[in-house]
Structure 1
Amino acid sequence: MQLLVNIDVDDLARGIGFYQRGLGLRLARKLFDGTVAEMAGGATPIYLLAGAPGTSPGARADGRRNYRRRTMPVHLDFVVEDLEAAIERALEAGAELEDWPQDFAWGRQAMLSDPFGHGICFIEWKGEGYGAAMDGKRAVEAA
């Protein structure tokens, strides 16, 4: 199964700029009469979808698009080599830092939001990464 990530933005040019400067992705192509930008450089393509504030994301949607910060049950994690450098680059491109970097057995994490209100996290692995969070029983079962 192929995974595609779609992110609504209210300004496509600003979205492309943020995801290029802030996350190091590159514009692969524009689609659908220039209303969608395919961003490459990660494990899966990210599509930025132009959608004006107040418009409906779909015929059966209860809400309207807004670009204020919101809590969603889904967010994107970006694995980075240098957490502080990634945070600095994203902040310079328009992100907001929501929580200072925290240390865990598996690595370090910082929580941010992009300029469109979407939650993103930067993760810097340590050792086995999430493997360090597994208990002995699970580690045996997973092997």
Structure 2
Amino acid sequence: MSLLVNIDVDDIEIAIEFYRSAFGLSVSRRFGVLGVEMSGSSVPIYLLAKSPDSIAAPETSLQRCYKRHWTPIHLDFVVDDIETAVQKAVSAGARIEKPVATYEWGKLALMADPFGHGFCFVEFLGSGYDALVDKV
């Protein structure tokens, strides 16, 4: 099994520039005006043009919204220098929702992209998440 990440956006060109500037991704393929494949992370990220207020799924009346919204699934970008990553993303148009905080396992910053999608930056310290594993 492999994983693909799809991100709905209302403006492909603005999204390309944001994801290029904020995360260093590059366009590897274009699908006309409907989407692009971006590479440079551990999985391909597809930016898909979807009109604001279009129906999100056939079985619901929920509409796409590109204001800040919540979803139980989000992206975590693992970085070596979280402060630099946060500054770079903010310069590209991201918002800081919770500044960098340090935990036993590492550092975390909660962010949002210009399309309302939440994401986090993670910088592991020491043994990373293994610091949270129950010792048997």
Q: TM-score interval w.r.t. the shorter chain?
A: over 0.9
TM-score normalized by the length of structure 2: 0.96
In structure 2, stretches of 5+ residues that fail to align are none
Higher mean displacement: 98-107 or 53-62? 53-62
Q: How much is the aligned-residue C-alpha RMSD, in angstroms?
A: 0.9
Number of the residue aligned with 1:84: 83
Residue 10 (1) aligns with residue 10 (2) = yes
Number of the residue aligned with 1:61: 60
Higher Rg? 1
Q: CA deviation at 1:110?
A: 0.3
Q: For residues 19 and 11 of structure 1, what CA distance do their matches in structure 2 show? A: 12
1:79 is aligned with what amino acid? V
Task: State the 4+ residue runs in structure 1 displaced beyond 3 angstroms.
Answer: none
In structure 1, stretches of 5+ residues that fail to align are 138-143
Q: CA deviation at 1:71?
A: 1.4
Percent identity of equivalent pairs: 45
TM-score normalized by the length of structure 1: 0.92
Q: For residues 75 and 67 of structure 2, what CA distance do their matches in structure 1 show? A: 17
2:35 is aligned with what amino acid? V
Q: Secondary structure at the match of 1:27?
A: strand
1:2-81 equivalent positions in 2, closer than 5 A: 2-31=2-31, 33-81=32-80
CA displacement, residues 53-91 of structure 1 (integer Å, 9 cap, x when unaligned):
011133223311110111111110000011011000000
